[in-house]
Amino acid sequence: MNDDGNFQLLDQNFVSLWESFTHPTDTLVPTQVMELGGELYSRQGQLNFSTGKFKLYLQHDGNLVLKLINLLSNYSNAVYFNTGTADLNNETNVGKRFVFDKSGFLYVMKKSGEKFNVSTSNDTISSNDVYYKATLNFDGVLTVSYYPKDPNKEQKWVTLKTIPENICLDSTFTDGGGVCGFNSICNLKDDQRPMCNCPEKYSLIDSNNMYGGCIPNFQVICQGGGQMGSLDDYMMKELQNTDWPKSDYETVSPCTLEQCTKSCSQDCLCVLVTFSGNSCWKKKLPLTNGRRGKEVNATSIMKLMKNDELLTPLPNKKMKEDHDTLIIVISVLLGFSVLVILMLVGTMYFGFSYNRKKIKSGGTNDGVVGKNLRNFTFKELVEATRNFSEELGRGSFSIVYKGRIDMTSVAVKKLDKLFQDNDKEFQTEVNVIGQTHHRNLVRLLGYCNEGQHRILVYEFMSNGTLASFLFTPLKANWRQRFDIASGIARGLVYLHEECCTQIIHCDIKPQNILLDDQCNARISDFGLAKLLLINQSHTETGIRGTKGYVAPDWFRSSPITTKVDTYSFGVLLLEIICCRRNVEKELADEEKGILTDWAYDCYKSRRLDILLENDDEAINNINSFEKFVMVALWCIHEDPSLRPTMKNVLLMLEGIIEVSKPPNPYLYSSAS
């Protein structure tokens, strides 16, 4: 983010790949330039940031215009301001770019080098004292505003210049209802922005949108020949300095004011007349481009209902009878609905109780915990993934696909190999994740357990795996690496110590750590997890995990405890701080091939600098780097009793407890 407000995405050579200055929405800031074809769009409302109906556009002919847009077709209905910088007779006299300079001036630069000023020196204050912005507002006004830099002055945006100066007068749209919509009246507020009002006995179509137009609260009753019904129910009211100039349908001339008024009062179509000299202009609904103000040199006379009681029809006897009948029918239906609801609730209650008894007694139960999880059908997931077309990744017995459910992106994990342990693994993962909830764990949304299909549905992590984040030529910044390591540690502390059932993950590795929108670490893939009951401290099972991250405990007759996760985390921590894989077979220098061995050798010889390999950020944080290496060496000790718990690992990472000098982690074997 540059000091001028330009947000840029740069490559490793600091070449701009994308910048906000070339993709404006509704606002320009000083030094920002708009080339031919450039445009600003207004928003739809004060708090509605969708694309609105006004556009500032530097046309390819060099003319800068403000336009009204039809949102459905994106068709330009009308131009209500233009700079006139298009010249068919002189090519050098046409505009080529629109500039908002650092002093707060707006101008169109012509091909000849001449400036066409959109604002003047009277419209600026020294840029040393204020900040500037130019915004195309949702009401169609382009405003140049300033904000004082002096904190002793009132801290708010102040409008300095409006374009056009009076949008109520300067904009006469040939299509649409104008700035304020049909049947509305536009007049300027103190800040030169339009305010919209309805005429007397008219109401806003949308009470939350003053710009949406108005409708009459009464209905004109006509007889044959287009004549009014009872004239006594209506009156003609004079509106000073008010006009709707584009709604004429008939002119009566010559005539007097009295004749003009009478002609409208007797005409069903006529809702308004304007009179000037000896001419009368009759207008009908919908009224367009209404405006009011001392600059409006016109007087209108509007037809209105006299009695407010006549604004809505009174119910007659037949309507009263129908109304009473309706109340009786609705009452019967409501009573019957309540009875049906009570019956359904009772049925659900007894059915739920019956199913619970069946499960407890070993009846039909697929072993899946359904609490807070959605049970999807296979057909639903086929549709959600477009027949499993977009693959995100795969493991030894599963493939993960991207899907979309209820407008939300999801990751759909499909177990693709059927073998003896498959169903058991599936039930384990659902049971484990279904009972967990932590910000550093991926949330399971639902599952499918239909026929041969075993599928899990997770929340989608937009930034992918930690592996794709770490193992790239461009190294992540040090703070991000620290936050990721701490997040993984917190997730493991939760699994080991804070769940009602203690959980050993058994397969901590970069591919099983996902990153959310903010690059927070989220532990995933509990398919290999082992659950420990409250009175258990270890378990015995077959070897689980991934080569390079598996603790030596698995290869001995020793019991499996949460310390196997501590070992895997130690390997992962070294990968995070060094931004390389634990095992690199392609390296020419064999002693660097296994990161855990090389890290200990570097630590023992006090040469951690060669472990960094031109990592400037890590070099600048060498004390933290050394501490993390020491923590990792404690974690990968071959003796599980010497490894710290994940709670102590987290406390060491956060500097709450000191990290002592680690012993040689290779108790039973030598480091090669």
Catalytic residue among 507, 525, 553, 615: 507
Query: Residues with Cβ < 8 Å from 108, sequence gap 6 or more?
Result: 58, 62, 64, 83, 85, 95, 97, 98, 99, 115, 116, 118
What Cα–Cα distance (Å) separates residue 311 from each residue in 239, 308, 637?
21, 5, 87
Structure tokens that stand for 319 in this block: 């309507």
What is the total residue count of the chain?
Answer: 672
Strand spans (E) along 198-311: 202-204, 214-216, 234-240, 242-243, 248-252, 270-276, 279-284, 291-292, 299-305
**CB-facing half-sphere around the CA of 319: CA atoms within 13 A:** 4
List the end-to-end C-alpha distance of the chain, in Å, as a whole number: 48
Are 359 and 351 in contact by the 8 Å Cβ rule? The answer is no
CA distance 176 to 186: 14
Are 304 and 234 in contact by the 8 Å Cβ rule? The answer is yes
CA-closest candidate to residue 146, choices 125, 177, 128: 125
Q: What 3-state DSSP class applies to 525?
A: coil
CA distance 330 to 24: 55
Q: Is 507 an active-site residue?
A: yes
CA distance 219 to 370: 58
Are 646 and 631 in contact by the 8 Å Cβ rule? The answer is no
Nearest-5° Cα angle at 323, 320 to 328:
130
CA-closest candidate to residue 201, choices 186, 189, 219, 177: 219
CA distance 42 to 40: 7
What Cα–Cα distance (Å) separates residue 210 from each residue in 180, 183, 207, 256, 610?
7, 12, 7, 36, 68
CA-closest candidate to residue 308, choices 218, 219, 203: 218
CA distance 424 to 458: 19
Query: Residues with Cβ < 8 Å from 322, sequence gap 6 or more?
Result: none
Q: What 3-state DSSP class applies to 391?
A: strand
Strand spans (E) along 451-561: 453-459, 502-504, 513-515, 521-523, 530-532
Nearest-5° Cα angle at 437, 530 to 496:
40
Catalytic positions, please? 507
